[in-house]
Amino acid sequence: MSTTTSINGKEIFDLLRDDIVAIEEQFGRDTVSNVAAITEIGEYLRAGGGKRIRPALLLLSAKLLGYKGNGAVKLASVVEIIHTATLVHDDIIDEAQIRRGRPAANTQWGNSMCVLAGDWLYMQAFKIAVQERNFRILDALIELTQQMVEGEMLQMEKLGKLISLEEHLDLIYRKTACLFSVCMRVGGILGGATGARRTAAREPVTAIGRLYVGTRFRKALTPRGSRKLAGSLDESTW
């Protein structure tokens, strides 16, 4: 007779506490540049916080498969840097004023500087990822970046138009759920998972990613959140 043990979010993050601290330190080192403005913007973004859900998913996936190396922390920092770069660009596109309860970076350094800082963050993330010398990981990250950019452009094309459920789900996948999925995929690659096992891990997390967007959108539509609809749909805590 089998028994099921449940675990809540706090307990999960408690298991990853030391790794999350290591990721924060890695993020800080990875966003230092000879150009002072890039370092300042990178530190401002890192200090803005966030739940670090995406790095946590990568760590959990790798640990589930018994991975013991240092690559998980490095690549968890990579996915957080990529996520941060998307937020910088999103805030410029949306003309957002607030991000995570603070003035958005573009309001402090201007759009031109922040576009370039976002581009630098993308390139830095790939520079670090290359150090793993794993083409499957690079393929996953390149595909991810393309899908997110395409998702943003598709959203702009469809703004104000009636779209089908299929189109809606495709946008949600490209803009958010695909990053959740790739975090599990990269962790699985590190752990040596086969294609079937990687797919089994990714599918439920992709569904969670879609639900995550729906939850944020629903909150934005409440009377309290409706004031924040202009801009980035109450993404200030994402």
pLDDT digits (tens, 9 = 90+) for 164-206: 999 999 999 998 899 999 999 999 999 998 766 555 555 555 5
Residue 12 pLDDT level (bands cut at 50, 70, 90): confident
In this prediction, residue 4 has a pLDDT band, given cuts at 50, 70 and 90, of: low
What is the pLDDT averaged over residues 128-141? 95
Domain count, the chain: 1
Angstrom distance (rounded) from CA 43 to CA 19: 19
Helix (H, G, I), strand (E, B) or coil at 77: helix
pTM given for the model = 0.82
Asked whether residue 88 is assigned to any structural domain, the reply reads yes
Task: Please count the CA atoms within 13 angstroms of the CA of 192 that sit on its side-chain side.
Answer: 5
Rounded percentage of the chain residues whose pLDDT exceeds 90: 70
Strand pairing class (102-103; 98-99) = antiparallel
More confident residue, 150 or 8: 150
Domain-located, residue 4:
no
Average pLDDT of the chain? 84
Q: Please indicate, yes or no, if residue 2 is contained in any of the structural domains.
A: no
Residue 82: CATH number of its domain? 1.10.600.10
- Helix intervals (H) in 98-134: 105-109, 111-130
Residue 1, in any domain of the structure: no
Task: Provide the domain limits for residue 148.
Answer: 9-237
